[in-house]
Chains A and B, each alone.
Chain A
């Protein structure tokens, strides 16, 4: 299994540009999430999904959109990039069962918005 994969690994955008961060998992996990990591703040939840067709907002959703058309994929869209969105982005997935609910993380995407 490849686990959770993210592309790209690095990205530089100009203010106002849009882009999509890709996330895929091959573990047949129902739960998927997006987090951002900023210095001194740990990881914060942006959006999450409990299954195909179901998404919800996390702690810091503004400026981001998500969709979940398949179990495997959970892309994150930045509609109009701002310097405040400079961060490291992590996608994660989880089986979502009581006995196994730890999250498995992708390698992250470092995004810089100029």
Chain B
């Protein structure tokens, strides 16, 4: 069975600084997708970024980028120029190709200090 592990229950970052959230996963599939979702206090789940396993190039979305290491089964999220609005719970999630079943990590709470 696929598993997703987020080893950092909480992280803090100073406003305008850079922070990296870690995620590792376990799967025997070769074709899959990885996602980072943001959950602010409103509890709405917001897609931040996604990565297709067959693409070697790391995904980027404005201030958000990933470091995808397929062999190591690692998928970290880097947030640059952190803003107060980035404070939230961040979830790493896995979905195999053609699947409909997201597997989530336990989440990392990100606090942003002004």
Q: State whether A107 touches B102 (Cβ < 8 A).
A: no
B100 in complex: contacting residue of A40, A94, A108, CB < 8 Å: A94
> In the bound complex, how far is the Cα of B100 from the Cα of A48, in angstroms?
7
Residues of chain B within 8 A of A49, CB atoms compared? 100
Residues of chain A within 8 A of B37, CB atoms compared? 105
B38 to A: closest C-beta gap in Å: 11
Q: State whether A48 touches B104 (Cβ < 8 A).
A: no
Smallest CB gap from A45: residue in B: B101
Query: For residues 37 through 81 of chain A, which have their beta carbon under 8 Å from a beta carbon of chain B?
Result: 40-45, 48-50, 58
Q: Report if A102-B44 is in contact (Cβ < 8 Å); known contacts: A31-B100, A41-B106.
A: no
B44 in complex: contacting residue of A41, A44, A45, A105, CB < 8 Å: A105
> In the bound complex, how far is the Cα of B99 from the Cα of A11, in angstroms?
31
Most chain A beta-carbon neighbours within 10 Å: one of B37, B93, B101 = B101
Residues of chain A within 8 A of B91, CB atoms compared? 42-43
> In the bound complex, how far is the Cα of B45 from the Cα of A40, in angstroms?
16
> In the bound complex, how far is the Cα of B45 from the Cα of A107, in angstroms?
7
Smallest CB gap from A105: residue in B: B45
Q: State whether A48 touches B101 (Cβ < 8 A).
A: yes
Q: Which 6 A-B pairs have the closest CB atoms?
A: A42-B104, A105-B45, A31-B100, A43-B104, A42-B106, A108-B43
**Chain B positions near chain A (C-beta within 8 angstroms):** 4, 33, 35, 37, 42-45, 47, 50, 91, 93, 95, 97-107
With A40-B107, A107-B44 given, can you name 9 additional A-B contacts, CB distance below 8 Å? A33-B100, A33-B102, A41-B106, A42-B104, A42-B106, A43-B45, A45-B102, A49-B100, A108-B43
